[in-house]
């Protein structure tokens, strides 16, 4: 995922003609369970490998809590509400493919498998700022 973020920053820098990328803002959804320490360290290592355009680039990470809504009964709940009921193997599967949450979770109120992730699904790059 860190590689994907840096590749996005490289693509945007090229497209926008940035001589320096000053700030990368990232949003991390709780559902994907990315370990912050490992992610930060991977980002920082990858940035070092990119040369002048990415010297002194700041990275801001915003963690977004996961909220679900049942499409059948409209009940809303958070990942925190149910995460303790999921074993480690299931959490790891959701980490790789967040959509498999639909294999292991049901609406806590009505039991429906038809629910949506309102926010906090995965990773996105919210902005990339640079100097031309």
Partner 1 sequence: MQDPRTSIIEKRLQNIKRVIAVSGGKGGIGKSVTSSLLALALSKEGYKVGLLDLDLSSPSDHVILGIKDVMPVEENGVVPPEVNDVQFMSVVFYAQDKPTPLRGEEISDAIKEILCITRWNNLDFLIIDMPPGIGDELFDTIELFKKTEFLLLSTSSKVVFETVRKLMILLQEMRIPVLGIAENMKRKEESFVREVCDKYKLSFLGEIRFDENFENAVGNVEKILHTKVFKDIQKIAKTLSKQIV
Binding partner 1 by CB under 8 A: which of 33, 93, 108, 129? Answer: 93
Distance CA 62, CA 116 (A): 21
The least CB distance from residue 8 to partner 1, in Å, is: 4
Total interface residues for partner 1 by CB under 8 A? 29
* Contact call for residue 49 and partner 1 (CB under 8 A): no
CA atoms within 13 A on the CB side of 1: 20
Asked if 123 interacts with partner 1 (CB under 8 A), we say: yes
CA distance 30 to 40: 15
| Cα(132)–Cα(130) distance, integer angstroms | 7
Shortest Å, Cβ 91 to partner 1: 11
Shortest reach from residue 33's CB to partner 1, in Å: 13
**Contact between 67 and partner 1 per CB under 8 A:** no
DSSP state of 88: H
Using CB under 8 A as the binding rule, whether residue 5 contacts partner 1 is answered as yes
Separation of alpha carbons 67 and 79, rounded Å: 6
Is 119 a binding residue for partner 1 by CB under 8 A? The answer is no
Q: Please spell the DSSP secondary structure of 114-131, one letter per residue.
A: -EEEEE--SEEEEEEEEE
Residues at the site binding partner 1, with contacts judged by CB under 8 A: 1, 3-5, 7-8, 10-12, 93-94, 96-100, 102-104, 113-114, 116, 121-126, 128
């Amino acid at each position: 995922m860190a590689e994907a973020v840096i590749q996005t920053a490289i693509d945007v820098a090229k497209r926008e003609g940035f001589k320096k990328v000053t700030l990368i803002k990232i949003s991390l959804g709780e559902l994907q369970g990315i370990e912050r320490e490992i992610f930060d360290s991977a980002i920082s290592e990858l940035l070092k490998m990119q040369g002048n355009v990415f010297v002194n680039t700041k990275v801001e990470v915003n963690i977004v809590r996961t909220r679900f809504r049942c499409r059948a009964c409209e009940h809303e709940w958070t990942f925190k509400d149910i995460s303790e009921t999921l074993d480690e193997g299931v959490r790891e599967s959701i980490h790789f493919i967040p959509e498999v949450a639909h294999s292991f979770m049901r609406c806590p109120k009505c039991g429906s498998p038809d629910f949506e992730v309102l926010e906090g699904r995965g990773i996105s790059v919210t902005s990339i700022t640079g100097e031309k």
